[in-house]
Structure 1
Amino acid sequence: MDSLIESSPLAGLVASPIARPGPDTIAISNVDLSLGAGAARVHILKDISLRVGQGETIGLIGPSGSGKSTLLMVMAGLERPDSGEVVVNGTPFNALDEDALARFRGRQVGIVFQSFHLIPTMTALENVAVPLELAGHDDAAARAAQELESVGLGHRMHHYPSQLSGGEQQRVALARALAPDPAILVADEPTGNLDDTTGKQIVDLLFTKHAERGMTLVLVTHDSALAHRCDRVVRLRSGRIESDNKAQVKVEA
C-alpha cells in the first residue's frame, strides 16, 4: 500500500506520519448554535461534540452551509453557542466574559481567514506587531520581524498590503496568527483567494509550521485532497457531524 501511495499522483499531498495526539486541546460537548433573528433565525450547529488532541491536525469538510466555518468560529471563541460547552487548552469558554475571552484568544488561538483581514494603512510588520503590542508583549516588533522572516517575507516587511501579492498577504496573515505562539491554529479556506500554485505554497507552510511547533491545526476546506493531509477528516452535513475518520489517501486501482 505504501508503494502505491508513493507512486500515486497524490504522493505530494500526503502528510508526514500521523502524530500521536496528546491530551485534548479542544473539547466541544453538545453544542447548539442558531444565528439570525425572528423568522430569519437559522439553526446552524446541532448537538456537536468533538475532541481534538494536542498537536493533532483536523480537516473540516462538507457542503456549503453545513456549518464548517461556524464550528471553526466556535472553536476560536468568535461565536458563543446557545448551549453546550467549549473547552480550549483546559479553559471553559462559558467561564469567561467577553474581555477575558478576547485576551485568551489573543494568547492561545491563531486564526487565518480566506480574506486576509490586513489593515491597509499598516505595513506588514505593523500588521503583525500591533496585535502583539495590544496583548502586552514588550518584544512585539522583534517578534513580528522574526515571524515575517520565518514565512519568507523578511524583505517585504515594510510594504503595505496593496504592495503585496495575494500569497504575500496571506503569509502576513499567517505570521500574525503564529506570532503569539498559540496552542491552536484555525484556518478557514486559507487558499480560497489564491491560485493553485500559491495556494499549495501556503498549505505547505501551514503544515511546516504545525510540524515545527506541535500546535493543533484545524483546517476548513472544500478540497478533499487537502483535508486528507490532516490526521483526521471530519465531515459536517446540515449542522451535524456526519463522519469523523482517520485520513486516508484513496488510490485508484
Structure 2
Amino acid sequence: MDSRIEPSQFSGLAPDTISIKDVNLSLGTGAARVHILKDISLRVASGEALGLIGPSGSGKSTLLMVMAGLERPDSGEVVVNGTAFNALNEDALARFRGRQVGIVFQSFHLIPTMTALENVAVPLELAGVADAAARAEQELISVGLGHRLHHYPTQLSGGEQQRVALARALAPDPAILVADEPTGNLDEATGKQIVDLIFTKHAERGMTLVLVTHDHSLAERCDRVVRLRSGHIDDTSADRNTAS
C-alpha cells in the first residue's frame, strides 16, 4: 500500500510536515478506559516551531506521542513528512521514526552501562549507519560534550545527560524534533541552556519542532502556540504569536 498522500488534502501556505485529522485516542481498559484525544485536527508546517501547552491531563504529551508514532490513535489520520502512519506496520513505523523523528523526553532514557558516545552511536549502528561512531562524536561535540565522550550517565550532570539525549535525537538528522518537557528534570539555569540549544539546532537545521511545555514563556519562543483542554484544541489559542 502506498503510504504517501497528496498535500492537497490539507490546505496551507507551506507544506505540512505533520498533518493530523479527526484523531481520537483512548487509553486503559474497561471502566478505567479514558478518552484522551477528542477529534483532534492539526497541521504543523515544515520548519515550524510549535508549542503545545495545557493543564496536566489535557492530552498534550499523548498528542506528541501520536505525532512521533509512539501511540496509534483509535481513529483518524496521522501523516508525517508525507507518510500515512495507518499504512505502516509496527516495524515499518519504527524504521520511519528512527530516520525522520528525533525525540527528547523529560527523563533522559540513557542506557547506564553505555558511555555518552555509545548511547548516541548504538541506535545509529542498529539503523545501519556506516559511520555511526564518527557521527555520534560529531553530534556530542556540537552540543558541547566533546570532553565527555567516554563518560557514563552516572558521571554526568542532569544537563549533560539531556545534552546526550539531544545529540542522540539529532544524530539521524531527522526532519522533525519533538520534545516533551525537556527541562522538567533540570534547574532553571541548566534548563535555559538546554532550551537555547534546542532552538539553535532548530534554526540551524530547519527542522520542524514540536515542544510540549507547561512554561508559557518557553512556549512563546515558538512560531505558534496551541493549547489543549480536556483532549480538545482550544481554538482561541491557535493563532500565530508575535514572538520573534
TM range (shorter): over 0.9
Structure 2 equivalent of residue 153 of structure 1:
145
What percentage of residue pairs aligned between the two structures are identical?
85
Structure 2 equivalent of residue 11 of structure 1:
none
Structure 2 equivalent of residue 26 of structure 1:
18
Structure 1: which amino acid aligns with 2:201? K
Return the match for 1:233 from 225, 229, 244: 225
1:95 offset after TM fit, Å?
A: 0.3
Gaps of 5+ in 1: 1-19
Structure 2 equivalent of residue 218 of structure 1:
210
Per-residue CA distance 1:19-62 (angstroms, 9 max, x = gap):
x9741000000000000000000000000000000000000000
Return the match for 1:244 from 207, 217, 238: 238
How far apart in 2 are the matches of 1:170 and 1:248? 29
Distance of aligned partners of 1:21 and 1:178 in 2 relative to their CA distance in 1, 3 Å threshold: farther
How far apart in 1 are the matches of 2:17 and 2:217? 25
Superposed counterparts of 1:1-253, under 5 Å: 22-242=14-234, 243-248=237-242
Structure 2 equivalent of residue 8 of structure 1:
none
TM-score (ref. length: structure 2) = 0.93
Structure 1: which amino acid aligns with 2:156? L
SS of residue matched to 2:92: helix
SS of residue matched to 1:246: coil
1:21/1:56 contact within 8 Å kept = no
Per-residue CA distance 1:172-210 (angstroms, 9 max, x = gap):
000000000001000000000000000000000000000
How far apart in 2 are the matches of 1:43 and 1:110? 27
Structure 2: which amino acid aligns with 1:233? V
How far apart in 2 are the matches of 1:67 and 1:21? 27
SS of residue matched to 1:245: coil
SS of residue matched to 1:103: helix
SS of residue matched to 2:192: helix
1:24/1:53 contact within 8 Å kept = yes
1:116/1:170 contact within 8 Å kept = yes
Per-residue CA distance 1:50-93 (angstroms, 9 max, x = gap):
00000000000000000000000000000000000000000000
Distance of aligned partners of 1:21 and 1:116 in 2 relative to their CA distance in 1, 3 Å threshold: farther
1:187/1:219 contact within 8 Å kept = yes
1:247 offset after TM fit, Å?
A: 1.9
1:58/1:233 contact within 8 Å kept = yes
SS of residue matched to 1:115: coil
Gaps of 5+ in 2: 1-11
How far apart in 1 are the matches of 2:67 and 2:199? 19
1:22/1:55 contact within 8 Å kept = no
TM-score (ref. length: structure 1) = 0.90
How far apart in 2 are the matches of 1:228 and 1:97? 36
How far apart in 2 are the matches of 1:52 and 1:69? 16
Structure 2 equivalent of residue 3 of structure 1:
none
